[in-house]
Amino acid sequence: MEFLIKIVYILIFPGLLFSSVFGLWLAGIDRKVVARMQRRVGPPVLQPTYDFFKLLGKETIVPSCAARHTFLIAPYVGLISLVVTALFIPIGGLQAFGGMADMVVVLYLITIPSLAMIFGGSASASPFAGVGVSRSMVAIMAYELPLILVLLSIGRAAGGTYVTFSLERVTLYQQMFGSFLFDWRLIPAALAMLLVIPCEVGAHPFDVGEAETEICEGPLVEYSGAPLAVFKLSHAIKMFIMTALFCALFLGGISTGMLWLDVVIALALCSVVTLICMTLLHAITARLKVEQVFKFFWTVVSGLALVSLILVWFVD
Amino acid sequence: MFKKLIDNSAARSPWLFHINAGSCNGCDIELVALLTPRYDVERLGFKLAGTPRHADIVVVTGPVTAQSKDRVLRTIAQVPDPKVIVTLGSCPRSCNVFRGSYSVVGPLDKYVPIDVSIAGCTPKPEAIIDGLALATQILKEKRGAK
């Protein structure tokens, strides 16, 4: 029985099926709302789903000088690690798998999709991919530091006298003492996290690695057919994972007593966070340069996170 | 079930790749005008792809010049199947006013089969949308025939 429940967790909720459907839906409303903000009608909300299925039906071309196996396996590695991440993030208090230090696990796992893209891009032997790969690496270095600082401040705030790395404890703490978003010490960290999300997902204005108009989507330049579909799906799931992580870290204090209602509220909050940190930013900004992204994240965003960390450490 | 889903999606998400084969830039501007709020072809699922590997529909503008011929053919060969080739404007079909020039080796249908031709110098955006809608139908048929 327990085994069956685990299978349901992994394959249906909140694993593969649910995160795909919800991620594609998030990507759909993102595109729709961006279009509305630009006074366009915009594509239907199901557009990313259509894109995904269409790409499944296309021919897969592997360039003759590419490293064939790495090229074909990389997208699936990214997808699997994202699905595993979804199992560790509490959605409205529902956490499929937990542990003492699941925050560290999540921190490692959400880097893997970007790495998979880097491996796939390098394997495709295209100069455009080469440029995209080097830019993606800079972007990863840029957002990792503030992300770790944010997680440290949350851990300290939830742990009291020590730093906790358990997302379950963070959720329990918030359910007892209120969400961290309304804790004044953690507001700078929340702002930093809102800026980390688009960079991690690869959304405007931080999409240096996948700049479509400059370097033809960087690492994805040689991909076609099913592997490209999986990369697009991973991108959509990443939106879900990162917003769900934000909700778990900063808005975890909502508990109505009914688990399903908590989950629905958490998913609604995910959509709102997507609209704020990805759609709004996409509509009002242009792409930054690589060095600008790096500088911005290591000064402004890390600074915000650091302020929170210091406040949490020394102010009660 | 999945086959039907994929067939239907093929017509709803056509990604364009635009090749300029020596065009005067008139048709290119009209093509880009389709993405503006006034015409907004994204509502039909169209998207300009940055690379031929992502494309479903190849839009060629301009009479094929001697310099661009190899590049055009190589680019079209890089597009994964099923694909549709659309010519935009009079040039790729008849070489238009450039016919007989020493540097023009067109029209395009000497080299590749053309699925849809959008006539005009330059075609109106409405005509381009009409032609692209036809192209998506052909795309769906090609996908279904596979």
C-alpha torsion sign, points A174, A175, A177, A182: positive
Both tokens assigned to B47: 């998207």
Closest by CA to A89, choosing from A143, A13, A146, is A13
Arithmetic mean of pLDDT, A75-94: 86
Taking any CB pair shorter than 8 Å as contact, residues of chain A touching chain B are 31, 35, 38-44, 47, 49-54, 56-61, 128, 212-213, 215-217, 220-225, 228
At B49-76, the pLDDT tens digits run 888 888 889 999 988 899 889 999 999 9
Contact A43 B37 (CB under 8 A): no
Kindly tell me the burial class for residue A52, based on how many C-beta atoms sit within 10 Å of its own C-beta (0-12, 13-18, 19 or more): buried
Arithmetic mean of pLDDT, A131-158: 88
pLDDT at B1: 72
Each domain of chain B, given as residue ranges in start order, spans 2-145
Which residues in chain A have their CB less than 8 angstroms from residue B16's CB? none
Contact A57 B50 (CB under 8 A): no
Contact B56 A39 (CB under 8 A): no
Both tokens assigned to B38: 């006034």
Q: Which residue of A has its CA nearest to B51?
A: A216
Mutation target vs A (from B13, B38, B44, B139; most A CBs, 10 A cutoff): B13
Which residues in chain B have their CB less than 8 angstroms from residue A42's CB? 40, 42-43
Arithmetic mean of pLDDT, A53-63: 85
Say if residues B138 and B117 touch (Cβ distance below 8 Å).
no
Written as tens digits, the pLDDT of chain B (146 aa) is 777 777 777 788 889 999 988 888 888 888 888 888 888 888 888 888 888 888 889 999 988 899 889 999 999 988 988 889 999 888 888 888 888 889 898 788 888 899 899 988 889 899 999 999 999 988 888 877 76
Say if residues A45 and A28 touch (Cβ distance below 8 Å).
yes
Give yes or no for a cis peptide into B107 (omega within 30° of 0): yes
pLDDT at B37: 86
Which residues sit opposite B46 in a β-bridge? none
At A4-47, the pLDDT tens digits run 878 877 777 777 888 888 899 999 999 899 898 888 888 888 88
Q: Which of B9, B54, B78 sits opposite A50 (nearest CB)?
A: B9
**C-alpha–C-alpha distance, residues A264 and B53, integer Å:** 39
pLDDT at B86: 92
Both tokens assigned to A286: 């242009």
Which residues in chain B have their CB less than 8 angstroms from residue A287's CB? none
Q: What are phi and psi of B47, to 5 degrees?
A: -150, 140
Q: What are phi and psi of B40, to 5 degrees?
A: 40, 75
Q: Is B32 on the interface with A (CB under 8 A)?
A: no
Q: Which of A54, A60, A223 sits opposite B13 (nearest CB)?
A: A54
Say if residues A116 and A84 touch (Cβ distance below 8 Å).
no
Both tokens assigned to A213: 């108009």
Q: Which of A57-61, A75-79, A226-230, B133-137 shows the lowest mean pLDDT across its residues? A: A57-61
At A245-282, the pLDDT tens digits run 888 888 876 777 777 777 888 888 888 888 888 888 88
Residues 6+ positions from A166 with CB-CB distance below 8 Å: A98, A99, A100, A101, A102, A103
Q: Which of A39, A61, A213 sits opposite B53 (nearest CB)?
A: A61
Q: Which residue of B has its CA nearest to A52?
A: B9
- Residue B92 to chain A, least CA–CA distance (Å): 25
In angstroms, what CA-CA distances link B5 with A51, A55, A79, B70?
Answer: 11, 12, 22, 36
Tell me which amino acid residue A226 is: A
**C-alpha–C-alpha distance, residues B106 and B21, integer Å:** 9
Contact A128 B51 (CB under 8 A): yes
Say if residues A282 and A34 touch (Cβ distance below 8 Å).
yes
Say if residues A182 and A191 touch (Cβ distance below 8 Å).
no
Local structure of A192: helix, strand or coil: helix
**C-alpha–C-alpha distance, residues B112 and B70, integer Å:** 12
What is the Cα B101 distance to its own chain's centre? 24
Q: Is B144 on the interface with A (CB under 8 A)?
A: no
pLDDT at B146: 64
Contact A43 B42 (CB under 8 A): yes
Arithmetic mean of pLDDT, A71-90: 88
Average pLDDT across chain A, whole number: 85
Count CA atoms within 13 Å of residue B129 on its CB side. Answer: 15
Which residues in chain B have their CB less than 8 angstroms from residue A215's CB? 50
Q: Which residue of A has its CA nearest to B54?
A: A224
Contact B80 A49 (CB under 8 A): no
Q: What is the DSSP letter of A77?
A: H
**C-alpha–C-alpha distance, residues B60 and B43, integer Å:** 22
Contact B43 A40 (CB under 8 A): yes
Contact B81 A50 (CB under 8 A): no
Round to the nearest angstrom and report the end-to-end CA distance of chain B. 16
The CATH architecture that domain B2-145 belongs to is 3-Layer(aba) Sandwich (3.40)
**C-alpha–C-alpha distance, residues B30 and B27, integer Å:** 5
Arithmetic mean of pLDDT, A53-58: 86
Mutation target vs B (from A34, A50, A215; most B CBs, 10 A cutoff): A50
Contact B80 A42 (CB under 8 A): no
Mutation target vs A (from B1, B7, B9; most A CBs, 10 A cutoff): B9
